[in-house]
Chain A
């Protein structure tokens, strides 16, 4: 464990953050941990199996709405948050399973197209059953009270989710996911039931996305259709690509940096730019994504490793 000391240091800083940072920034920091869950769960599917899921927000949204409904008086039951979050994850996983068995029998292209359509359709449900889901306004729930409590809960949830995902990714199962990405036909030839493992990856990924969505709802105490929307999807993709697909660690760092950049650092920079130039934070983030994608299609992580090993060889 040569990384033990820096990891402990980071954890200490995270634990002490409520005593250092002001409440408003603590809120953003806590949100960024939940965002990391979303990015890491996306990476588990896309980075490991190589199947591009463009509908990850479907599972975030389903988890978010499930938890919100279970905790409000809109359904017949009112559950405590920690149960409703688990139920939300399970329900997302079920939806993922159903979509998976239909689309994952095919190779990647159809999967990308179908998952790209899904968020739009799920968003429509919010408007069709307006009384239940609250339309474009959404509705609010009690959620978790107290900024500091919320912060610690989100830190703990993130650590648990990331550790479980890391464990899966490093196990035999993770290796089989990777074999699908590298060469699906070869993986099939050596006896791996690729369809089964693709569906498994998708179900796990949607489970954690559902958990993430449910936690976000409890954190910010409102649920609304933006959790289904494409800008959130792009933010997740950008974070994972920045960190490098299929690395988990990269997704953690990418998710953290991108979320804080979008919600904390970019705003003062944008306000400096004269309003003549049509620039918004989204435009800057999309541009970054395009530039990284073109210059480093393997992801920053791989490129840096290549550079690092080249330097090591020279010295």
Chain B
């Protein structure tokens, strides 16, 4: 019994940490620029594919890992600059175009790498035993990295000058413009940060599970569920919601089977929407 409990807790902490990275990035860009970035899941997937490709050319794993994260940031900014920034005013089109970009990237990766899952080899080996349950060091590292990154994000947004500017734009874009903040530059920085978070999430995911081109849509759907629960635009809400959703998913997988996980997730969301329509910490639309 105690083993089962520990296994569920350990597994859900790791999953929740990864989803917290992905969804806080998604909600951050919404909170600042009021953009729903449907290409966010592609960034999640593409960072892992890029890093794995570098490894094939015998590049040091840690270097590949770092390059994958930077690459995801660059791709995120590119997508924003080319496909989203010019049509920011047309909210419907931003959603449609970014969804099309996501599917386009998925198709291209599918054609280049095939549909089989591939993994980034674990950065560290070995395992720890907690009450007789073996937990790999990689999972512990993934959780620690996720928590550390989210902690750094909090510090960055609340303490640094750029972070405060991001906050200002999120609160009132026009007032921020009036006091001389270059809003477009802040958007670009935010997209870069948000993409890096997704990229790190994808790289950690690909070391614990295998990543496939279809994982991009899965990541996107999970991010949606989390931000609906946590409230659109609230980083704090999405982190809390990640742990709730992660826990629910692992419980469902353990006791009902994996095919039920999306179903139960949706029921949770619907329940939340009925009780509190704007999620736990939703921002004004």
Q: Do A and B belong to a common assembly?
A: yes
Interface 1/0 per residue, B131-158 and A, CB below 8 Å: 0000000000000000000000000000
CB-CB under 8 A from B224, the residues of chain A are 113-114, 116-117
Interface 1/0 per residue, B262-274 and A, CB below 8 Å: 1101100110011
Residue of B nearest to A108 (CB): B91
Interface residue range, chain A: 35 or more
A-B contact pairs, 21 of them (CB 8 A): A52-B92, A52-B95, A106-B285, A110-B228, A110-B232, A110-B278, A113-B227, A114-B224, A118-B266, A121-B262, A230-B103, A234-B99, A241-B96, A278-B112, A283-B107, A283-B108, A286-B103, A290-B104, A293-B100, A294-B82, A294-B83
Q: Among B89, B104, B232, B260, which residue has its beta carbon within 8 angstroms of that of A109?
A: B232
CB distance from B257 to the nearest CB of A (A): 9
B121 touches A (CB below 8 Å): no
CB-CB under 8 A from B89, the residues of chain A are 297
Q: Among A105, A107, A128, which residue has its beta carbon within 8 angstroms of that of B260?
A: A128
Is B36 in contact with A113, judged by CB distance below 8 angstroms?
yes
Name the interface residues of B241-267: CB closer than 8 Å to any CB of A.
259-260, 262-263, 265-266
Chain A to chain B: the 10 pairs with minimum beta-carbon distance, closest first? A278-B111, A293-B97, A286-B104, A297-B90, A297-B93, A289-B100, A297-B87, A113-B224, A121-B266, A107-B285
Is B274 in contact with A102, judged by CB distance below 8 angstroms?
yes
CB-CB under 8 A from B111, the residues of chain A are 278-280, 283
A63 touches B (CB below 8 Å): no
CB distance from A277 to the nearest CB of B (A): 9
Interface 1/0 per residue, A240-256 and B, CB below 8 Å: 01000100000000000
A127 touches B (CB below 8 Å): yes
Extra 14 A-B pairs, beta carbons < 8 Å, given A110-B232, A290-B104 = A107-B285, A116-B224, A117-B224, A120-B221, A124-B259, A125-B263, A241-B93, A245-B92, A278-B112, A283-B108, A283-B111, A290-B97, A294-B86, A297-B90
Is A109 in contact with B97, judged by CB distance below 8 angstroms?
no
Residue of A nearest to B231 (CB): A110
CA distance A278 to B232 in the complex (A): 37
Is A110 in contact with B100, judged by CB distance below 8 angstroms?
no
Q: Among B90, B217, B263, B273, which residue has its beta carbon within 8 angstroms of that of A102?
A: B273
Name the interface residues of A72-111: CB closer than 8 Å to any CB of B.
102-103, 105-110
B277 touches A (CB below 8 Å): yes
Q: Among B87, B227, B262, B273, which residue has its beta carbon within 8 angstroms of that of A103?
A: B273
Is A128 in contact with B97, judged by CB distance below 8 angstroms?
no
Is B217 in contact with A283, judged by CB distance below 8 angstroms?
no
- Given known pairs A109-B232, A110-B273, A113-B228, the reply for A286 and B107 (CB within 8 Å) is yes
CB-CB under 8 A from A116, the residues of chain B are 38, 220-221, 224
CB-CB under 8 A from A46, the residues of chain B are 92
B101 touches A (CB below 8 Å): yes
Is A283 in contact with B92, judged by CB distance below 8 angstroms?
no
CB-CB under 8 A from B260, the residues of chain A are 124, 128
CB-CB under 8 A from B278, the residues of chain A are 106, 110
CB distance from A42 to the nearest CB of B (A): 11
- Given known pairs A106-B278, A110-B277, the reply for A289 and B97 (CB within 8 Å) is yes
B20 touches A (CB below 8 Å): no
Name the interface residues of A184-232: CB closer than 8 Å to any CB of B.
230-231
Residue of A nearest to B222 (CB): A117
Residue of A nearest to B273 (CB): A102
CB-CB under 8 A from B82, the residues of chain A are 294
Q: Among B90, B101, B266, which residue has its beta carbon within 8 angstroms of that of A298?
A: B90
